[in-house]
Structure 1
Amino acid sequence: MHVYLYLISATYVSAKRSAALARGLEAAAPVPAMAIRLEAEGQGLWAALDALLVRGASRIDLRPVGMPFSQSLEKWLPSAAGAWLAQQSGSTPELFFASSPEHDAATVRAIARAEVSLRRIGEKPAGEMGKGWDLPPAHRHHLLVCTGPRCHVKDAPNLADALKVEIRRAGLSDSCLVSTTGCVFPCNAGPVIVHYPRGDWYRVADLSDIQSFVATVLAKGGRLEHLIFHQTGVSHEPA
Protein backbone atom coordinates (compact mmCIF):
# COMPACT_ATOMS: atom_id res chain seq x y z
CA MET A 1 0.00 0.00 0.00
CA HIS A 2 1.33 3.41 -1.02
CA VAL A 3 0.71 6.11 1.62
CA TYR A 4 1.57 9.76 2.20
CA LEU A 5 2.87 11.01 5.55
CA TYR A 6 2.49 14.80 5.69
CA LEU A 7 5.02 16.50 7.98
CA ILE A 8 3.64 19.82 9.25
CA SER A 9 6.10 22.32 10.67
CA ALA A 10 4.10 25.06 12.39
CA THR A 11 5.48 26.92 15.40
CA TYR A 12 3.08 29.19 17.32
CA VAL A 13 0.01 27.50 15.83
CA SER A 14 -2.75 26.16 18.08
CA ALA A 15 -3.40 22.44 18.31
CA LYS A 16 -6.92 23.01 16.97
CA ARG A 17 -5.73 24.83 13.86
CA SER A 18 -2.98 22.29 13.23
CA ALA A 19 -5.47 19.41 13.57
CA ALA A 20 -7.81 21.07 11.06
CA LEU A 21 -5.01 21.30 8.51
CA ALA A 22 -4.10 17.67 9.14
CA ARG A 23 -7.68 16.56 8.50
CA GLY A 24 -7.82 18.59 5.31
CA LEU A 25 -4.59 17.11 3.99
CA GLU A 26 -5.64 13.56 4.78
CA ALA A 27 -9.03 14.07 3.12
CA ALA A 28 -7.54 15.59 -0.05
CA ALA A 29 -4.68 13.13 -0.51
CA PRO A 30 -4.83 10.90 -3.61
CA VAL A 31 -3.68 7.89 -1.57
CA PRO A 32 -4.21 6.83 2.07
CA ALA A 33 -2.55 9.46 4.23
CA MET A 34 -1.59 10.57 7.71
CA ALA A 35 -0.54 14.05 8.81
CA ILE A 36 1.56 14.82 11.89
CA ARG A 37 3.01 17.95 13.42
CA LEU A 38 6.77 18.02 13.93
CA GLU A 39 6.66 20.36 16.93
CA ALA A 40 4.74 20.61 20.19
CA GLU A 41 2.06 17.94 20.38
CA GLY A 42 0.74 14.79 18.77
CA GLN A 43 2.30 11.70 17.31
CA GLY A 44 6.03 11.81 16.55
CA LEU A 45 7.66 10.77 13.27
CA TRP A 46 8.86 7.36 14.46
CA ALA A 47 5.51 6.55 16.09
CA ALA A 48 3.68 7.56 12.89
CA LEU A 49 5.93 5.34 10.79
CA ASP A 50 5.27 2.46 13.21
CA ALA A 51 1.52 3.00 12.80
CA LEU A 52 1.71 3.07 9.00
CA LEU A 53 3.79 -0.10 8.99
CA VAL A 54 1.10 -1.85 11.06
CA ARG A 55 -1.51 -0.63 8.56
CA GLY A 56 0.38 -2.43 5.79
CA ALA A 57 2.27 0.41 4.10
CA SER A 58 4.76 -0.85 1.51
CA ARG A 59 5.79 2.64 0.36
CA ILE A 60 5.71 5.84 2.43
CA ASP A 61 6.25 9.27 0.92
CA LEU A 62 7.28 11.86 3.51
CA ARG A 63 5.81 15.16 2.31
CA PRO A 64 6.89 18.39 4.07
CA VAL A 65 4.21 21.03 4.70
CA GLY A 66 5.33 24.61 5.36
CA MET A 67 6.01 27.76 3.38
CA PRO A 68 8.94 27.89 3.34
CA PHE A 69 9.95 24.65 4.99
CA SER A 70 12.98 24.66 7.30
CA GLN A 71 16.19 23.89 5.41
CA SER A 72 17.68 22.19 8.47
CA LEU A 73 14.62 19.95 8.77
CA GLU A 74 14.87 19.07 5.08
CA LYS A 75 18.39 17.82 5.76
CA TRP A 76 17.65 16.09 9.07
CA LEU A 77 14.29 14.39 8.49
CA PRO A 78 15.52 11.85 5.89
CA SER A 79 18.27 10.83 8.33
CA ALA A 80 15.77 10.52 11.19
CA ALA A 81 13.54 8.35 8.99
CA GLY A 82 16.59 6.31 7.98
CA ALA A 83 17.35 5.70 11.67
CA TRP A 84 13.84 4.32 12.09
CA LEU A 85 14.32 2.13 9.02
CA ALA A 86 17.56 0.71 10.45
CA GLN A 87 15.72 -0.41 13.59
CA GLN A 88 13.16 -2.49 11.69
CA SER A 89 13.34 -6.21 11.13
CA GLY A 90 11.70 -8.28 8.44
CA SER A 91 9.86 -6.66 5.57
CA THR A 92 10.16 -2.87 5.60
CA PRO A 93 8.49 -0.23 3.43
CA GLU A 94 10.26 1.92 0.87
CA LEU A 95 10.70 5.47 2.15
CA PHE A 96 10.86 8.59 -0.03
CA PHE A 97 11.26 12.25 0.91
CA ALA A 98 9.42 14.82 -1.21
CA SER A 99 10.58 18.31 -2.10
CA SER A 100 9.15 21.14 -0.05
CA PRO A 101 6.11 22.88 -1.67
CA GLU A 102 7.92 26.20 -2.19
CA HIS A 103 10.09 24.50 -4.81
CA ASP A 104 7.00 24.02 -6.98
CA ALA A 105 6.24 27.15 -9.00
CA ALA A 106 2.58 26.21 -9.51
CA THR A 107 2.05 25.91 -5.75
CA VAL A 108 3.64 29.29 -5.07
CA ARG A 109 1.57 30.85 -7.86
CA ALA A 110 -1.64 29.33 -6.46
CA ILE A 111 -0.91 30.75 -3.00
CA ALA A 112 -0.05 34.17 -4.40
CA ARG A 113 -3.34 34.34 -6.33
CA ALA A 114 -5.64 32.63 -3.82
CA GLU A 115 -9.00 34.32 -3.20
CA VAL A 116 -9.06 34.85 0.56
CA SER A 117 -11.31 36.82 2.91
CA LEU A 118 -10.14 40.28 3.97
CA ARG A 119 -10.65 42.37 7.11
CA ARG A 120 -10.23 46.13 7.07
CA ILE A 121 -7.70 47.40 9.62
CA GLY A 122 -8.41 50.66 11.38
CA GLU A 123 -6.25 52.86 13.61
CA LYS A 124 -5.61 51.45 17.09
CA PRO A 125 -3.18 53.44 19.27
CA ALA A 126 -0.83 51.11 21.20
CA GLY A 127 -2.39 48.19 19.36
CA GLU A 128 0.83 46.21 19.70
CA MET A 129 0.47 46.18 23.48
CA GLY A 130 -1.22 43.01 24.75
CA LYS A 131 -3.31 42.70 27.88
CA GLY A 132 -1.26 41.37 30.77
CA TRP A 133 2.06 41.61 28.90
CA ASP A 134 3.70 44.04 31.32
CA LEU A 135 5.47 41.77 33.80
CA PRO A 136 6.20 38.03 34.02
CA PRO A 137 3.85 36.13 36.35
CA ALA A 138 5.10 35.38 39.83
CA HIS A 139 7.21 32.21 39.91
CA ARG A 140 10.06 30.47 41.71
CA HIS A 141 10.91 28.02 38.93
CA HIS A 142 11.30 28.90 35.24
CA LEU A 143 11.17 25.80 33.07
CA LEU A 144 12.17 25.90 29.41
CA VAL A 145 10.71 22.88 27.64
CA CYS A 146 12.03 22.08 24.19
CA THR A 147 9.24 21.19 21.78
CA GLY A 148 11.41 21.28 18.68
CA PRO A 149 11.21 18.53 16.06
CA ARG A 150 14.29 16.60 17.20
CA CYS A 151 13.02 16.25 20.77
CA HIS A 152 9.55 15.55 19.40
CA VAL A 153 10.76 12.57 17.38
CA LYS A 154 12.06 10.84 20.52
CA ASP A 155 8.58 9.82 21.67
CA ALA A 156 8.07 12.92 23.83
CA PRO A 157 5.55 14.93 21.78
CA ASN A 158 3.46 15.89 24.80
CA LEU A 159 6.27 16.66 27.21
CA ALA A 160 5.12 20.17 28.07
CA ASP A 161 1.50 19.11 28.64
CA ALA A 162 2.55 16.16 30.82
CA LEU A 163 4.80 18.46 32.85
CA LYS A 164 1.98 20.96 33.42
CA VAL A 165 -0.36 18.16 34.53
CA GLU A 166 2.16 16.91 37.08
CA ILE A 167 2.83 20.46 38.31
CA ARG A 168 -0.90 21.03 38.86
CA ARG A 169 -1.23 17.66 40.58
CA ALA A 170 1.56 18.66 42.98
CA GLY A 171 -0.12 22.02 43.71
CA LEU A 172 2.83 23.99 42.28
CA SER A 173 1.19 25.87 39.43
CA ASP A 174 1.56 29.29 41.10
CA SER A 175 5.33 28.83 41.55
CA CYS A 176 6.23 27.48 38.08
CA LEU A 177 6.47 29.37 34.80
CA VAL A 178 6.58 26.82 31.96
CA SER A 179 7.81 28.18 28.62
CA THR A 180 7.89 26.01 25.52
CA THR A 181 10.77 26.72 23.17
CA GLY A 182 12.07 25.80 19.77
CA CYS A 183 15.36 23.96 19.50
CA VAL A 184 17.79 24.61 22.39
CA PHE A 185 20.54 22.76 20.45
CA PRO A 186 21.70 19.68 22.44
CA CYS A 187 19.22 17.60 20.44
CA ASN A 188 21.11 14.34 20.94
CA ALA A 189 20.58 14.68 24.69
CA GLY A 190 16.85 15.40 24.38
CA PRO A 191 14.07 15.62 25.31
CA VAL A 192 15.26 18.66 27.25
CA ILE A 193 13.97 20.71 30.19
CA VAL A 194 16.10 23.61 31.44
CA HIS A 195 15.46 24.60 35.06
CA TYR A 196 16.17 28.16 36.21
CA PRO A 197 17.35 29.85 38.37
CA ARG A 198 19.67 26.88 38.95
CA GLY A 199 20.52 26.51 35.28
CA ASP A 200 20.35 22.70 35.29
CA TRP A 201 19.68 21.00 31.94
CA TYR A 202 17.73 17.76 32.28
CA ARG A 203 17.15 14.92 29.85
CA VAL A 204 13.59 13.80 30.58
CA ALA A 205 12.76 10.77 28.48
CA ASP A 206 9.34 9.67 29.71
CA LEU A 207 6.47 10.25 32.14
CA SER A 208 8.37 8.56 34.97
CA ASP A 209 11.22 11.06 34.59
CA ILE A 210 8.75 13.96 34.56
CA GLN A 211 7.10 12.73 37.75
CA SER A 212 10.48 12.35 39.44
CA PHE A 213 11.49 15.84 38.27
CA VAL A 214 8.37 17.45 39.74
CA ALA A 215 8.47 15.50 43.01
CA THR A 216 12.20 15.85 43.67
CA VAL A 217 13.31 19.08 41.99
CA LEU A 218 10.24 21.32 42.14
CA ALA A 219 8.48 20.08 45.26
CA LYS A 220 11.47 19.23 47.47
CA GLY A 221 14.20 21.46 46.07
CA GLY A 222 16.45 18.52 45.29
CA ARG A 223 18.29 17.52 42.15
CA LEU A 224 18.28 14.48 39.88
CA GLU A 225 21.96 14.15 39.12
CA HIS A 226 21.49 11.17 36.80
CA LEU A 227 19.26 13.24 34.50
CA ILE A 228 21.41 16.42 34.44
CA PHE A 229 23.70 16.62 31.42
CA HIS A 230 24.73 20.32 31.52
CA GLN A 231 24.66 23.41 33.71
CA THR A 232 24.43 26.98 32.48
CA GLY A 233 27.76 28.70 33.00
CA VAL A 234 29.69 25.43 32.89
CA SER A 235 31.37 25.01 29.52
CA HIS A 236 30.69 21.79 27.68
CA GLU A 237 33.80 22.32 25.56
CA PRO A 238 37.06 20.58 26.57
CA ALA A 239 39.83 22.84 27.85
Structure 2
Amino acid sequence: MNSFYVFNGKVLKQLALVVTTAFVAAWFLYIGNLVHLPAFSAKDGPKAIYKGEKDLALTFNIGWGDEKAEPILDILKAGNVKSATFFLAGSWAERHPDLVARIVKEGYEIGMLGYNYEDYTELEEQKIRQDIAKAQVAFKTLNVKNIKLLRAPTGHFDKKTLKVAEGLGYTVVHWSVDSKDWTNPGVESIIKNASHATKGDILLFHASDSAKQTAKALPQILKDIHSKNLKLVSVSELMADAETKTNEIK
Protein backbone atom coordinates (compact mmCIF):
# COMPACT_ATOMS: atom_id res chain seq x y z
CA MET A 1 0.00 0.00 0.00
CA ASN A 2 2.76 2.38 0.95
CA SER A 3 4.59 1.88 -2.33
CA PHE A 4 1.31 2.50 -4.17
CA TYR A 5 0.82 5.91 -2.53
CA VAL A 6 4.47 6.91 -2.98
CA PHE A 7 4.28 6.07 -6.68
CA ASN A 8 1.10 8.10 -7.15
CA GLY A 9 2.54 11.00 -5.18
CA LYS A 10 5.44 11.19 -7.62
CA VAL A 11 3.07 11.02 -10.56
CA LEU A 12 0.96 13.81 -9.10
CA LYS A 13 4.04 15.97 -8.55
CA GLN A 14 5.15 15.37 -12.12
CA LEU A 15 1.66 16.10 -13.40
CA ALA A 16 1.49 19.27 -11.34
CA LEU A 17 4.86 20.38 -12.74
CA VAL A 18 3.69 19.73 -16.30
CA VAL A 19 0.45 21.64 -15.75
CA THR A 20 2.26 24.54 -14.10
CA THR A 21 4.83 24.72 -16.88
CA ALA A 22 2.10 24.62 -19.52
CA PHE A 23 0.16 27.37 -17.73
CA VAL A 24 3.23 29.61 -17.48
CA ALA A 25 4.07 29.01 -21.15
CA ALA A 26 0.49 29.80 -22.17
CA TRP A 27 0.52 32.96 -20.07
CA PHE A 28 3.72 34.24 -21.66
CA LEU A 29 2.33 33.40 -25.10
CA TYR A 30 -0.82 35.35 -24.26
CA ILE A 31 1.16 38.34 -23.06
CA GLY A 32 3.38 38.10 -26.11
CA ASN A 33 0.34 38.30 -28.36
CA LEU A 34 -0.97 41.31 -26.50
CA VAL A 35 2.32 43.18 -26.64
CA HIS A 36 2.80 42.64 -30.35
CA LEU A 37 5.24 45.56 -30.58
CA PRO A 38 7.92 44.76 -27.99
CA ALA A 39 9.98 47.72 -29.16
CA PHE A 40 7.56 49.91 -27.22
CA SER A 41 8.65 48.32 -23.95
CA ALA A 42 10.47 50.51 -21.45
CA LYS A 43 12.72 47.56 -20.50
CA ASP A 44 15.83 49.32 -21.79
CA GLY A 45 14.52 52.82 -21.18
CA PRO A 46 11.52 54.86 -22.31
CA LYS A 47 11.04 55.06 -26.06
CA ALA A 48 8.99 57.05 -28.54
CA ILE A 49 7.94 55.89 -32.00
CA TYR A 50 9.33 57.95 -34.84
CA LYS A 51 9.54 55.66 -37.87
CA GLY A 52 8.23 52.43 -39.37
CA GLU A 53 9.65 50.23 -42.13
CA LYS A 54 7.30 50.73 -45.07
CA ASP A 55 4.56 53.04 -46.32
CA LEU A 56 4.29 56.67 -45.21
CA ALA A 57 2.22 58.35 -42.49
CA LEU A 58 1.04 61.95 -42.83
CA THR A 59 0.44 63.59 -39.47
CA PHE A 60 -1.10 66.98 -38.72
CA ASN A 61 -0.94 68.77 -35.38
CA ILE A 62 -3.78 71.14 -34.49
CA GLY A 63 -3.42 73.12 -31.28
CA TRP A 64 -5.38 76.27 -32.02
CA GLY A 65 -6.99 78.35 -34.75
CA ASP A 66 -10.16 78.50 -36.80
CA GLU A 67 -9.09 78.81 -40.44
CA LYS A 68 -6.46 76.30 -41.61
CA ALA A 69 -7.86 72.87 -40.72
CA GLU A 70 -10.82 72.86 -43.10
CA PRO A 71 -8.85 73.77 -46.25
CA ILE A 72 -6.36 71.01 -45.47
CA LEU A 73 -9.20 68.51 -45.10
CA ASP A 74 -10.55 69.71 -48.46
CA ILE A 75 -7.15 69.15 -50.12
CA LEU A 76 -6.82 65.65 -48.66
CA LYS A 77 -10.28 64.80 -49.93
CA ALA A 78 -9.56 66.23 -53.38
CA GLY A 79 -6.32 64.24 -53.46
CA ASN A 80 -8.18 61.05 -52.55
CA VAL A 81 -6.08 60.63 -49.41
CA LYS A 82 -7.83 57.99 -47.35
CA SER A 83 -5.42 57.73 -44.41
CA ALA A 84 -3.79 60.37 -42.22
CA THR A 85 -3.45 61.00 -38.51
CA PHE A 86 -4.55 64.23 -36.83
CA PHE A 87 -3.15 64.99 -33.39
CA LEU A 88 -5.66 67.32 -31.77
CA ALA A 89 -5.48 69.40 -28.61
CA GLY A 90 -8.56 68.78 -26.49
CA SER A 91 -9.19 72.52 -26.12
CA TRP A 92 -9.26 72.93 -29.91
CA ALA A 93 -11.49 69.89 -30.36
CA GLU A 94 -14.04 71.29 -27.89
CA ARG A 95 -14.30 74.50 -29.90
CA HIS A 96 -14.55 72.73 -33.28
CA PRO A 97 -16.86 69.72 -32.87
CA ASP A 98 -17.95 69.89 -36.53
CA LEU A 99 -14.37 69.60 -37.79
CA VAL A 100 -13.65 66.77 -35.37
CA ALA A 101 -16.75 64.98 -36.65
CA ARG A 102 -15.60 65.52 -40.23
CA ILE A 103 -12.14 64.09 -39.48
CA VAL A 104 -13.78 60.98 -38.05
CA LYS A 105 -16.36 60.71 -40.84
CA GLU A 106 -13.70 60.90 -43.55
CA GLY A 107 -11.85 58.02 -41.98
CA TYR A 108 -8.82 59.77 -40.56
CA GLU A 109 -7.20 58.72 -37.32
CA ILE A 110 -7.23 60.96 -34.26
CA GLY A 111 -4.38 61.13 -31.79
CA MET A 112 -4.16 63.28 -28.69
CA LEU A 113 -2.12 66.47 -28.37
CA GLY A 114 -2.92 67.02 -24.71
CA TYR A 115 -5.43 69.67 -23.74
CA ASN A 116 -3.76 73.03 -23.13
CA TYR A 117 -0.82 72.69 -25.53
CA GLU A 118 1.76 72.98 -22.77
CA ASP A 119 5.39 71.83 -22.78
CA TYR A 120 5.29 68.54 -20.87
CA THR A 121 8.99 68.73 -20.01
CA GLU A 122 8.20 71.76 -17.86
CA LEU A 123 5.34 70.07 -15.98
CA GLU A 124 5.34 67.69 -13.04
CA GLU A 125 3.98 64.19 -13.64
CA GLN A 126 0.69 64.98 -11.92
CA LYS A 127 0.16 68.05 -14.11
CA ILE A 128 0.78 65.97 -17.24
CA ARG A 129 -1.78 63.41 -16.05
CA GLN A 130 -4.28 66.17 -15.39
CA ASP A 131 -3.78 67.68 -18.84
CA ILE A 132 -4.24 64.30 -20.53
CA ALA A 133 -7.26 63.50 -18.35
CA LYS A 134 -8.88 66.80 -19.31
CA ALA A 135 -8.32 65.98 -22.98
CA GLN A 136 -9.81 62.51 -22.45
CA VAL A 137 -13.00 64.09 -21.12
CA ALA A 138 -13.15 66.47 -24.09
CA PHE A 139 -12.84 63.67 -26.65
CA LYS A 140 -15.27 61.45 -24.78
CA THR A 141 -17.83 64.26 -24.89
CA LEU A 142 -17.29 64.45 -28.65
CA ASN A 143 -17.79 60.67 -28.89
CA VAL A 144 -14.22 60.11 -30.09
CA LYS A 145 -13.25 56.76 -28.63
CA ASN A 146 -10.23 54.49 -28.35
CA ILE A 147 -7.50 57.10 -28.79
CA LYS A 148 -4.23 55.24 -28.27
CA LEU A 149 -1.68 57.68 -29.68
CA LEU A 150 -0.23 60.70 -27.90
CA ARG A 151 2.07 63.39 -29.25
CA ALA A 152 3.76 65.74 -26.83
CA PRO A 153 2.00 69.10 -27.40
CA THR A 154 5.13 71.11 -28.21
CA GLY A 155 7.09 68.13 -29.52
CA HIS A 156 9.26 68.14 -26.39
CA PHE A 157 9.18 65.12 -24.11
CA ASP A 158 11.35 63.25 -21.65
CA LYS A 159 11.32 60.03 -19.61
CA LYS A 160 8.76 61.55 -17.26
CA THR A 161 6.38 62.19 -20.16
CA LEU A 162 6.84 58.68 -21.53
CA LYS A 163 6.32 57.12 -18.10
CA VAL A 164 3.01 58.94 -17.66
CA ALA A 165 1.88 58.12 -21.21
CA GLU A 166 2.68 54.43 -20.82
CA GLY A 167 0.89 54.31 -17.48
CA LEU A 168 -2.23 55.74 -19.10
CA GLY A 169 -2.08 53.33 -22.02
CA TYR A 170 -0.81 55.70 -24.72
CA THR A 171 1.97 55.30 -27.25
CA VAL A 172 4.00 58.47 -27.77
CA VAL A 173 4.50 59.31 -31.45
CA HIS A 174 7.20 61.67 -32.70
CA TRP A 175 8.22 62.06 -36.36
CA SER A 176 11.14 61.30 -38.66
CA VAL A 177 10.63 64.11 -41.20
CA ASP A 178 9.63 67.64 -40.24
CA SER A 179 8.14 69.78 -43.01
CA LYS A 180 8.92 72.83 -40.83
CA ASP A 181 5.68 74.35 -42.09
CA TRP A 182 5.16 75.93 -38.67
CA THR A 183 8.09 78.29 -39.39
CA ASN A 184 6.41 79.54 -42.59
CA PRO A 185 9.65 79.25 -44.62
CA GLY A 186 7.87 79.53 -47.96
CA VAL A 187 5.83 77.03 -49.97
CA GLU A 188 8.83 75.75 -51.93
CA SER A 189 10.81 75.14 -48.74
CA ILE A 190 7.96 73.13 -47.22
CA ILE A 191 7.71 71.05 -50.40
CA LYS A 192 11.48 70.47 -50.35
CA ASN A 193 11.50 69.49 -46.67
CA ALA A 194 8.64 67.05 -47.19
CA SER A 195 10.35 65.56 -50.27
CA HIS A 196 12.90 63.89 -47.96
CA ALA A 197 10.19 61.50 -46.75
CA THR A 198 10.45 57.93 -47.94
CA LYS A 199 9.06 54.56 -46.90
CA GLY A 200 8.54 54.14 -43.19
CA ASP A 201 8.63 57.84 -42.40
CA ILE A 202 6.24 59.76 -40.17
CA LEU A 203 5.86 63.20 -41.75
CA LEU A 204 4.95 66.21 -39.60
CA PHE A 205 2.63 69.00 -40.71
CA HIS A 206 0.47 71.50 -38.84
CA ALA A 207 -3.10 72.57 -39.44
CA SER A 208 -3.13 75.31 -36.81
CA ASP A 209 -3.57 78.88 -37.98
CA SER A 210 0.11 79.65 -37.36
CA ALA A 211 1.03 77.36 -40.30
CA LYS A 212 -0.01 79.73 -43.06
CA GLN A 213 1.58 77.99 -46.06
CA THR A 214 0.81 74.31 -45.51
CA ALA A 215 -2.37 74.22 -47.57
CA LYS A 216 -0.61 75.79 -50.56
CA ALA A 217 2.27 73.30 -50.37
CA LEU A 218 0.20 70.18 -49.77
CA PRO A 219 -1.11 69.49 -53.33
CA GLN A 220 2.43 69.34 -54.76
CA ILE A 221 3.61 67.25 -51.80
CA LEU A 222 0.84 64.73 -52.47
CA LYS A 223 1.83 64.59 -56.16
CA ASP A 224 5.44 63.92 -55.19
CA ILE A 225 4.39 61.15 -52.80
CA HIS A 226 2.25 59.57 -55.52
CA SER A 227 5.17 59.72 -57.98
CA LYS A 228 7.28 57.71 -55.51
CA ASN A 229 4.55 55.04 -55.31
CA LEU A 230 4.38 55.44 -51.54
CA LYS A 231 1.24 54.21 -49.84
CA LEU A 232 -0.24 56.65 -47.33
CA VAL A 233 -1.34 55.05 -44.07
CA SER A 234 -2.29 56.13 -40.57
CA VAL A 235 0.27 55.92 -37.78
CA SER A 236 -1.54 52.91 -36.33
CA GLU A 237 -1.42 51.18 -39.71
CA LEU A 238 2.29 51.99 -39.98
CA MET A 239 2.82 50.46 -36.55
CA ALA A 240 0.82 47.34 -37.34
CA ASP A 241 2.47 46.82 -40.71
CA ALA A 242 6.06 46.59 -39.59
CA GLU A 243 8.50 46.57 -36.72
CA THR A 244 8.44 50.17 -35.57
CA LYS A 245 11.68 52.01 -34.92
CA THR A 246 12.09 53.86 -31.67
CA ASN A 247 14.40 56.38 -30.06
CA GLU A 248 15.59 55.91 -26.50
CA ILE A 249 15.26 58.97 -24.31
CA LYS A 250 18.45 59.45 -22.32
TM-score by structure 1 length?
0.24
Higher helix share: 2
Higher strand share: 1
Higher relative CO (Cα under 8 Å, sequence separation at least 6) belongs to: 2
